[in-house]
Amino acid sequence: MSFLPQLAFLIILGAAGYILSKRIQFLKRNILLGKAETRNDQTDTRWKTMFLVAFGQQKMFKRFIPAFLHLLIYVGFVVINLEVLEFILDGILGTHRLFAPILGGVYTVAMNIFEFLAVAVLLACVAFLMRRNVTKVERFQKPEMKGWPALDGNLILVIEIVLMFAILTMNATDQILANRGDEHYIALGTLFFSSLIQPLFEGFSNGTLVFIERFAWWFHIAGILAFAIYVTYSKHLHIFLAFPNTWYSNLKPKGEMINMPEVTNEVNMMLGIPSDNASEPPAEIGRFGAKDINDLTWVNVLNAYSCTECGRCTAECPANLTGKKLSPRKIMMDVRDRAEEVGKSLDSGGPGLEDGKSLLGDYITQEEINACTSCNACVEACPVNIDPLSIILQLRRYTAMEESGSPAQWNAMFQNMETSFSPWKFSPQDRFNWADSVKEEEMNK
């Protein structure tokens, strides 16, 4: 018995594992370029949020048809990959359908379920390709989706279609060989969906069928391993990161802006309000707001890597809908791209964050962040609880506090807030003068 197939399989498995582990380390380091932030409170709520939003896809079903198609792909991805365990064991041990003799009829039922899901995934992927390229859903046609993002979306769907067809081809040729009495193959009874394509292969010789079956097997397992690596470079990284991303969701009420503790403590001291950290010396403030990814929190960077590029945030953004340049999806893509650029620079011995570039200015413009109305529509729309508004507010805070670069009208409003405690330039003592005039009019009636 030749051990070459097992050796080849182990080499492929080991190489894929090594590449994947290096990529995971790269992603972890990039995410941790962000500042520290602790989000371990309300653990019960966090587990519930993760199961409902990431696992249960609760927010996806605001749009039923794409949500249902996505559910088919999601369930198919999870369940069909249970078969990968058998693939791996067969590859290592040199066996063929290791679990079939052990499970008996249950194995046949399981294979029919796998085939049903494979067909469902195949049809759902075709439908999504049609939505992207034929019906041209508007949110997939935005400027930030040109080039690689559009290719990535189409490529992953084509890969999934090919992998699902490989499963059906493998099962169809496998069962023809079993029915012809080849001792290496096990008759499983009727596999409904693969039996529909068996006539395509009936005229081939046994040797040709063995080649096709083995090619489909190797193609599928090698494709799964390649897919796992490719996902880490793709927007489909959300398949894995959606779970931690939803667990670390911002549980504060939407609309509650997070103040800088250093500034809050200083204001409290000026107003004579006791501060929690009054006895401690004030911490040195490195920067007000955020200019680059290291000024954001690691949760913000995790959000960026978890982005599905579905565009639901941009489709709901009132600024974008009125023709402004702001696209919350682009904000998240820019943060991820900047993290990738810095990470690659560090790995090559380059300057990293000191490359003369920054997130604000080189990736995201002031025009974009100034267009935001802080309405939280993007946060509400995101199916995996990404928070683009948090990043926008931090970039805008830097612009206002470090560069004094806010629009002139905003600066006037800020000054009025500081001196008059309202956006309008009049004395606080005159705030209720309008009430006196109303009272006088009522008395004169």
Chain position carrying tokens 């990039």: 30
How many residues in the chain? 445
- How high is the pLDDT of residue 48? 95
Given a cut of 50, the residues of the chain with pLDDT beneath it are: 1
pLDDT at 284: 58
Give the ranges where 284-372 is alpha helix by DSSP (H): 298-306, 312-316, 318-321, 328-347, 366-370
Question: How does 90-100 read in b/e, with b if 16+ C-beta sit within 10 Å?
Answer: bbeeeeebbbb
Q: How do residues 129-149 score in pLDDT, each as one tens digit?
A: 999 999 999 999 999 999 999
Contact 97, 86 (CB under 8 A): yes
Tokens 């041209």, located at residue: 136
| Whether the Cβ atoms of residue 35 and residue 295 lie closer than 8 Å to each other | yes
* 389 within 8 A of 379, measured Cβ to Cβ: yes
Side chain identity at 322, as an amino acid letter? T
d(C-alpha 359, C-alpha 363), whole Å: 5
Collapsing DSSP states into helix, strand and coil, what is residue 375? Answer: coil
Q: Which fold has domain 261-266+287-428?
A: Fumarate Reductase Iron-sulfur Protein; Chain B, domain 2 (1.10.1060)
CA geometry: angle 282, 285, 290, nearest 5 deg? 145
Name every residue whose Cβ is closer than 8 Å to that of residue 434 and which is 6 or more positions away in sequence.
Answer: none
Q: For residue 225, give every residue at least 6 positions away whose Cβ sits within 8 Å of its Cβ, in sequence order, or none.
A: 12, 13, 16
Which is it for the CA torsion 44, 46, 379, 56, positive or negative? negative
Angle, vertex CA 97, rays to CA 216 and CA 13, nearest 5: 60
What's the confidence (pLDDT) of residue 285? 59
Give which of 224, 227, 240, 233 is closest to 55, Cα–Cα: 240
pLDDT in the model for residue 255: 79
* d(C-alpha 150, C-alpha 155), whole Å: 9
Which residues are bridge partners to 297 per DSSP? 35
Are the C-beta atoms of 382 and 331 separated by less than 8 Å? Answer: no
